[in-house]
Chains A and B, each alone.
Chain A
Amino acid sequence: MIKIHQLSKKYKGADYFSVMDLDLHVKEQEIFGLLGPNGAGKTTLISMLCSLIKPTSGSFSINGRTFKENKNELKQLIGIVPQEYSLYPTLTAYENLAYFGSMYGLKGSELKNSIDEHLEILGLTRFAHKKIDSFSGGMKRRVNLIASILHQPKVLFLDEPTVGVDVQSKNVIIDHLKQLNAEGTTMIYTSHHLNEAENFCSRVAIIDEGKIISKGIPSDLIAKQANAHNLEDVFIAITGKALRDHA
């Protein structure tokens, strides 16, 4: 589904590569977790895959297509749940969703049904006509997710979709994502919640300093690592305890 070949990114003015010579193959209907410390290159990788930033070198394809050749077709195929709330605060949840759904070409009853269905599943129906700036963090996260999945994308990029939300919101979000995956959506997911990743992802890659240093099925990685009881133990064992601060 997603094939990445020797992908690198060095930001203008930086003296290091955020992503370096990365090779990866994500299969169809996988939930692939990208795990790593701050500044490891997770968001940079997702941003390149979503056409938000230009790679310095290397290439990738999604479902056999590239952005250079099939830009709009590919954009229709993917969805991105950004780390920041990408919503208009003075518009209601429904107005935000109607607008972003329209940008994917949805209209009329198809658009309305999709919005209503997702609002219902994520427990937001009674807040549909309230402005986003009156929402809690968890509610905004859920609307942020719906705005990215209204058009039923084949591939969904999730950049820390549950950061800063309560357990209840997190569970609703994760359950809905699992449901979407079961219906055929491939997912690339980044998070610092390693327990969540362990349960949610079918495969994970641990990235540090722009490179994949380990990848596999979470249970296999735990089994291979001596004295590891969970993914967090594996993560610490591989990446160490040193801080990763970049400026």
Chain B
Amino acid sequence: MHKLIASAYKETLLLSRDLGGLAILFVMPLVLVITITLIQDSSFKTINDTKIPVLVVDLDKGSVSQSIFEGLSTSNSLEIITKASEEEAKRAVFNGEYQLAIVIPENLSAVLQKKVNYNVEGILAKFGLEEDSLQIAESVPKRMEIILYFDPATQQSFKSSVKNGIDRMISQIETQSIYKAFQEQLSEDEEEAIFETERFISYKEMVPTKDSKDIIPNSAQHNVPAWALFAIFFIIVPLSINMVKEKTQGTFVRLRTNPVHYATVLGGKTVVYLTVCLIQFSLMLIIGVYLFPAIGLPTLDVAGRLPLLFTVAAFAGLAAIGLGLLLGTVAKTQEQSAPFGATFVVILAALGGVWVPVFVMPKFMQLVSNLSPMNWGLNGFYDVFLRNSNLKEILPEIGLLFMFFIITTVISIVYNEKKNAI
């Protein structure tokens, strides 16, 4: 125990003498969390509050184009700018001036009406209610297309959401037209409402609750745990560099001749770097709770969750330290440990779902993602922050993180013993 305490004290001194390193350890994660949250929050605001200008070329000038205009106007996220010609709109979009142009073709309303009438009259004829069905069957209307021009730099997700929105609007217009056609055919009185055309099925989003209040995720609840985890794992870079330095300075040679087990040396580092991880995490929580609201970001809600949050952070820190110890044991130079450590953390973050949610990854990558300790940590944080889980429910995640720490540390010790066996 005395040797462990002495080792931990030495590590503390070494860290405290490296002010640049300390600044990187504590300040950079904070800068990272603030920057990412600002960007992501402004992205949400862009979608929700700011209107994206969209060019519309209305060659139809009928009821369909009017419905499309109304639909786009009510979306609250698009600002409609009309253009007279398709060519002009196309040029503006392909030059990158606008994200999107919608070209509504000539006679779309008339042709749609013709198609609806054709279908309705066809159906009525089957029931013997229509007299001149044979004449209608000879004039099947041709298909028409609404043309969408996208800036090539437009994100696929935006394209998909616009296409889905327009598709839904057209379906709605078609349905309304069919109802209207039936109404006209079946009733003499235009005012008489035969059909209820309002949507029958709607949806309601249910969220977990805490103390009878809904837990509504905001960008802070998503970003702070994700990027806190990213920062915690970056501890492997300074930790592995610290160990490689001991080899190049010759102090490791002296330690090998001392009657001290390698596990004790690693234990001292673990204690100190775990403390660093927890301080990092505390600072990030403080930033989320106090600084975020002051700079217009959503507040991080940690009420009633602190013990569990620190539990997940501690086990995530241990997993990161285990990896750092292994890298520091195996690497011979800083040129090996630093770039590998940094790149590996980025890979683990990508696999762990820090950047792209795991559920949108290909099946194979989803399987691989299960192997990333950052995925376990992130799920642990989301369990606490967003799913209102208790200690028992986060045991699988923290258990995996702890196992990872044990396995990597044991490999480090065995590798060192084997390499220096006499």
Interface, chain A (partner B; CB < 8 A)? 50-55, 67-68, 71-73, 75-76, 78-80, 82, 84-91, 95, 98-100, 102-105, 107, 131, 147-148
- CA of A85 to CA of B254 in the docked complex: distance in angstroms? 10
Q: In the complex, are the beta carbons of A104 and B253 less than 8 A apart? A: no
Q: In the complex, are the beta carbons of A88 and B14 less than 8 A apart? A: yes
Q: In the complex, are the beta carbons of A95 and B10 less than 8 A apart? A: yes
Nearest B residue to A103 via CB reads: B258
Q: In the complex, are the beta carbons of B254 and A88 less than 8 A apart? A: no
Which of B14, B250, B254, B420 counts the most chain A CB atoms within 10 A?
A: B254
* Listed A/B pairs (30) with beta-carbon separation below 8 Å: A51-B256, A51-B420, A67-B422, A71-B422, A73-B259, A75-B259, A79-B257, A82-B253, A82-B254, A84-B253, A85-B250, A86-B250, A86-B254, A89-B249, A90-B13, A90-B14, A90-B17, A90-B18, A91-B13, A91-B14, A91-B17, A98-B6, A99-B6, A99-B10, A100-B254, A100-B258, A102-B2, A102-B3, A107-B2, A147-B254
* Chain B: minimal CB distance from A48 (Å): 8
**CB of B260 closer than 8 Å to a CB of A:** yes
Do A88 and B249 form a contact, CB below 8 Å, given A102-B6, A105-B3, A147-B254?
yes
* Chain A: minimal CB distance from B11 (Å): 10
Contacts of A91 in B (CB 8 A): 10, 13-14, 17
Contacts of B257 in A (CB 8 A): 50-52, 75, 78-80
- CA of A8 to CA of B305 in the docked complex: distance in angstroms? 62
- CA of A100 to CA of B254 in the docked complex: distance in angstroms? 8
Q: In the complex, are the beta carbons of B251 and A86 less than 8 A apart? A: yes
Do A103 and B251 form a contact, CB below 8 Å, given A54-B421, A68-B422, A90-B18?
no
Do A95 and B13 form a contact, CB below 8 Å, given A75-B257, A82-B254, A100-B258?
yes
Size band of the interface chain B makes with A: 20 to 34
- CA of A84 to CA of B256 in the docked complex: distance in angstroms? 14
A-contact 0/1 string along B113-147, CB 8 Å cutoff: 00000000000000000000000000000000000
**CB of B255 closer than 8 Å to a CB of A:** yes
Which of A82, A100, A104, A105 counts the most chain B CB atoms within 10 A?
A: A100
* Chain B: minimal CB distance from A226 (Å): 41
A-contact 0/1 string along B1-35, CB 8 Å cutoff: 01100110110011001100000000000000000
Nearest B residue to A90 via CB reads: B17
Q: In the complex, are the beta carbons of B251 and A80 less than 8 A apart? A: no
Contacts of B251 in A (CB 8 A): 86-88
Contacts of A68 in B (CB 8 A): 422
Chain B interface helix/strand/loop/mixed: helix
Contacts of A72 in B (CB 8 A): 259
Q: In the complex, are the beta carbons of B253 and A52 less than 8 A apart? A: yes
Contacts of B10 in A (CB 8 A): 88, 91, 95, 99
Contacts of A53 in B (CB 8 A): 422
Which of B253, B255, B256 counts the most chain A CB atoms within 10 A?
A: B253
**Known pairs A50-B257, A86-B251, A105-B3. 15 more at Cβ < 8 A?**
A51-B256, A52-B253, A52-B257, A78-B257, A82-B250, A82-B253, A84-B250, A90-B18, A91-B13, A99-B7, A100-B254, A102-B6, A104-B258, A105-B259, A131-B17
Q: Which of A67, A86, A99 contacts B249 (CB 8 A)?
A: A86
Contacts of B9 in A (CB 8 A): 99
Contacts of B258 in A (CB 8 A): 75, 100, 103-104
Contacts of A98 in B (CB 8 A): 6
* Chain B: minimal CB distance from A182 (Å): 24
Q: In the complex, are the beta carbons of B259 and A52 less than 8 A apart? A: no
- CA of A131 to CA of B16 in the docked complex: distance in angstroms? 13
Q: In the complex, are the beta carbons of B259 and A51 less than 8 A apart? A: no
- CA of A73 to CA of B6 in the docked complex: distance in angstroms? 20
Contacts of A84 in B (CB 8 A): 250, 253
Nearest A residue to B256 via CB reads: A52
Contacts of A80 in B (CB 8 A): 254, 257
Nearest B residue to A131 via CB reads: B17
A-contact 0/1 string along B382-422, CB 8 Å cutoff: 00000000000000000000000000000000000000111
- CA of A76 to CA of B259 in the docked complex: distance in angstroms? 6
Which of A67, A73, A82 counts the most chain B CB atoms within 10 A?
A: A82
Which of B250, B251, B255, B258 counts the most chain A CB atoms within 10 A?
A: B258
Do A54 and B422 form a contact, CB below 8 Å, given A86-B249, A88-B10, A98-B6?
yes
Contacts of A147 in B (CB 8 A): 254
* Chain A: minimal CB distance from B10 (Å): 5
- CA of A80 to CA of B250 in the docked complex: distance in angstroms? 12
* Chain B: minimal CB distance from A98 (Å): 7
- CA of A72 to CA of B262 in the docked complex: distance in angstroms? 12
Contacts of A50 in B (CB 8 A): 257
- CA of A193 to CA of B13 in the docked complex: distance in angstroms? 37
Nearest A residue to B268 via CB reads: A99
- CA of A158 to CA of B135 in the docked complex: distance in angstroms? 113
Contacts of A89 in B (CB 8 A): 249
- CA of A82 to CA of B256 in the docked complex: distance in angstroms? 12
- CA of A208 to CA of B329 in the docked complex: distance in angstroms? 34
- CA of A148 to CA of B7 in the docked complex: distance in angstroms? 17
